[in-house]
Chains A and B, each alone.
Chain A
Amino acid sequence: MSMDTVPAKLTPRLVAEVDEMVREGWYANRSELIRDAVREAVRRARAQRLEAAIKRDVEWGLRGKS
C-alpha cells in the first residue's frame, strides 16, 4: 500500500508517551500508533456527522416543508 508522509509536530511529552506505548508493545512503531489515532479520529468525526444528519432527518420528517 502506498503511503504519504505527513509532517506533524508533537510536544515532547506526547512523543514520550508514544514511545512508551511502542516500548510496551501496543504498536510496532510510532507510525503505526499515529495511523491508528488518525483512523480513530476520522471514525469518530464520521459518526458525529452521521448522528447530526439523522437528527436533521427527524426534524425534517416532523417539521420540514419539502
Chain B
Amino acid sequence: MGRVSAAVLDAGPLIHLGQIDGLETLRVVRKCVVTTEVVLELGRGFALPRTCAVRTLGPAARDFAAFLCSQDSLGLGEATSIALARQERIRLFFTDDLGAREAAARYGLEPHGTLALLARACREGVVSRTDALSLLESLHRRSSLFLTSELVDWARRQILAYSRG
C-alpha cells in the first residue's frame, strides 16, 4: 500500500489530466518517467510536472520501440514508453491507449490508465474524495478521454464505497 514508487507515462494521462487541471494527481507517483518523444508529442506549451523526469532511449530500447511501432502498430510515444519502461526496469506504465496497454502487458509490464491514477491519488489522500469525484466528472465532460456515462457512474460508486469503508 502507499504511493507508487516509479512509473512510466505516455502522453495520454498527461494530456487528459492537463485538460482538467488535474496534474496534481500525479503526485501519487514519486517518480514519473517520460521519453523525449512523449515530451515532443505534448508540445512546447505543456508544463511537465516537476516530478516527471525525461529519459532518452539507449540503442537497444530504440530498436525495440521501432519493432513495437511496426509489429503492434503503436504510435511513437506509446512504443518508446514501453521500451523505456523495460530499459529502466519500471513495471508500471500509464497509458489510455488500448493497443499500448495490450502490448505492454505482453511484454511483462503492468499497464493502467488515468482513472487508476485518480483512484490511487484519492486512496492516498493526494486529492480529497470530493476533488476526486469532481476530477472524474471533469474527465468525462471536459477531457478528450472517452468514458461512457455508465462507466463514470460505476467509478463514482466505487470511490464513494471505498471512502465509506
- On A, residues with C-beta under 8 Å from B are 46, 49-51, 53-66
B51 CB–A CB distance under 8 Å: no
* Chain B residues within an 8 Å CB radius of A46: 98
Segment at the interface with A among B34-42, B67-75, B109-117: B109-117
Contact call B119/A49, Cβ cutoff below 8 A: no
Chain B binding surface, main DSSP class: helix
- On B, residues with C-beta under 8 Å from A are 1, 4, 91-92, 98, 101-102, 110-123, 147-148, 151, 154-155, 158-159, 162
Chain A binding surface, main DSSP class: helix
User: Count the A-B residue pairs with Cβ separation under 8 angstroms: how many?
Assistant: 60
User: How far apart sit A51 and B149, CA to CA, in the bound complex (Å)?
Assistant: 11
**Of the residues A50, A51, A59, A64, contact of B158 by C-beta under 8 Å:** A59
* Chain B residues within an 8 Å CB radius of A62: 119-120, 122-123, 158-159, 162
Contact call A57/B123, Cβ cutoff below 8 A: no
Q: Contacts A46-B98, A60-B116, A61-B115 known; A54 to B159 CB distance under 8 Å?
A: no
Q: Contacts A54-B147, A55-B151, A66-B91 known; A61 to B120 CB distance under 8 Å?
A: yes
